[in-house]
């Protein structure tokens, strides 16, 4: 499948990665090449085959529904680019 510039723009938007307009055509071309490679998968007969959900036949372990850890506010905030009064600060979200 060939990816056009508009699709590349939409994908960049969905991925929340800023791509300048002049970089979009090259990006679209790269996507097309990679998707072209991926399209080999269409040659495979997958009728009646279940998509893999777990590579090891294992039921996920469960643990008791109890508090294991907590009161880690300082540690949790420690690496934040902008933390104030125990909150993560971000630009205004609601007008």
Partner 1 sequence: MTDLSKLTIASARDALRKGDVSSAELTNAYLGAIDGAGALNAFVHHTPDIAKAQAAAADIRIKAGDAPDMCGIPLGIKDLFCTKGVPSQAASGILDGFKPEYESTVTTQLFDAGAVMLGKLNMDEFAMGSSNETSVYGNAVSPWKIDDRQLTPGGSSGGSAAAVAADLCLGATGTDTGGSIRQPAAFTGITGIKPTYGRVSRWGVVAFASSLDQAGPMTKDVRDAAIMLAAMCGHDPKDSTSMDMPVPDFEAALTGDIKGKVIGIPKEYRMDGMSAAIEKLWDDGTSMLKDAGAVIREISLPHTKYALPAYYVIAPAEASSNLARYDGVRFGHRAKLAAGDGITEMYEKTRAEGFGPEVQRRVMIGTYVLSAGFYDAYYNRARKVRTLIKRDFDQVFASGVDAILTPATPSAAFGLGAMKNADPIQMYLNDVFTVTVNLAGLPGIAVPAGLDADGLPLGLQLIGRPWEEGDLLNVAYTLEQAAGFVAKPQKWW
CA dihedral 61, 66, 69, 74 (to 10 degrees): 120
Q: How far apart are CA 6 and CA 18, in angstroms?
A: 14
Q: Can you tell me which of 21, 22, 49, 85 binds partner 1, judged by CB under 8 A?
A: 49
Calculate ∠ Cα 86-90-91, nearest 5°: 145
Q: Which two tokens stand for residue 77?
A: 């905030």
Q: Binders of partner 1 among 57-86, rule CB under 8 A?
A: 58, 60-61, 63, 72, 75-76, 78-82
Site mask for partner 1 (CB under 8 A), range 12-31, x = bound: xxxxxxxx-------x--xx
| 88 contact partners, CB below 8 Å, separation of at least 6 | 77, 80, 82
- Name the residue nearer to partner 1 (CB basis): 41 or 67: 41
46 contributes a contact to partner 1 by CB under 8 A: yes
By the criterion CB under 8 A, which residues form the site for partner 1?
3, 7-8, 11-19, 27, 30-31, 33-35, 37-44, 46, 49-56, 58, 60-61, 63, 72, 75-76, 78-82, 88, 90-93
């Amino acid at each position: 499948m060939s990816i056009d510039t508009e699709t590349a723009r939409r994908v960049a938007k969905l991925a929340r990665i800023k791509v300048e307009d002049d970089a979009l055509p090259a990006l679209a071309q790269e996507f097309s090449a990679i998707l072209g490679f991926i399209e080999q998968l269409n040659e495979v007969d997958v009728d009646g085959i279940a998509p893999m959900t777990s590579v090891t036949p294992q039921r996920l372990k469960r643990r008791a529904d109890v508090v294991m850890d907590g009161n880690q506010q300082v540690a949790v905030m420690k690496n934040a680019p902008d933390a104030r009064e125990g909150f993560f600060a971000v630009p205004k979200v609601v007008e």
